[in-house]
């Protein structure tokens, strides 16, 4: 399921979308909030430039919105149906708490999904290493 070459591997691990060899982030821990957005400019293995254009990751806000909705709905379903909490106020509090706790993870996942929408795995990345272009689909 998470073998090298799959987009899911790159999305969940935060690795380079082209070679899957290194993390895109300076700090792998998303809960180190001061470094949650700090990324390498290029991959040190294949040379892929992560930020294709200025303000490239602004589009990740749309993905972040969708992920926030998914986490909120999941929190509601778990609390309402599995735990049996029928008070909507308590469910609302659980949703807000879930979104606050998972905010760094949602931010990282949204960036990972966004960059993987525009780049894909290149099994021959070692041969293309000298080329200084972004590997767009």
Write out pLDDT tens, residues 45-60. Answer: 888 888 888 888 899 9
**Burial letters for 14-40: b for 16+ Cβ neighbours within 10 Å, e otherwise?**
bbbbbbbeeebbeeeebeeeeebeebb
Q: Is the pTM of this model over 0.85?
A: no
For 86, other C-beta atoms within 10 Å of its C-beta total 9
Q: Which are the contacts of 104, defined by CB distance < 8 A and separation ≥ 6?
A: 30, 31, 33, 36
Q: Which residues contact 99 (CB under 8 A, 6 or more apart)?
A: 68, 71, 72, 75, 106
Predicted pLDDT at 135: 47
pLDDT in tens, 59-97: 999 999 999 999 999 999 999 998 888 888 999 999 999
pLDDT tens-digit profile of 13-29?
999 998 888 889 998 88
Query: How many whole angstroms separate alpha carbon 9 and alpha carbon 5?
Result: 7
What percent of the chain is modeled with pLDDT above 70? 91
């Amino acid at each position: 399921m998470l073998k090298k070459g799959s987009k899911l591997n790159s999305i969940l691990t935060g690795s380079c979308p082209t070679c899957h060899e290194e993390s895109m982030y300076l700090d792998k821990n998303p809960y180190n909030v001061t470094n949650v957005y700090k990324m390498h400019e290029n991959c040190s293995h294949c040379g892929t430039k992560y930020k294709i254009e200025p303000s490239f990751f602004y589009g990740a806000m749309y993905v972040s919105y969708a992920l926030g909705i998914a986490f909120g709905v999941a929190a509601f379903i778990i609390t309402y149906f599995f735990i049996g909490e029928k008070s909507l106020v308590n469910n609302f509090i659980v949703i807000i708490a879930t979104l606050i706790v998972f905010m760094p993870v949602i931010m990282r996942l949204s960036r990972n999904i966004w960059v993987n929408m525009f780049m894909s795995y290149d099994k021959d990345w070692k041969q293309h290493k000298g080329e200084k272009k972004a590997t767009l689909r």
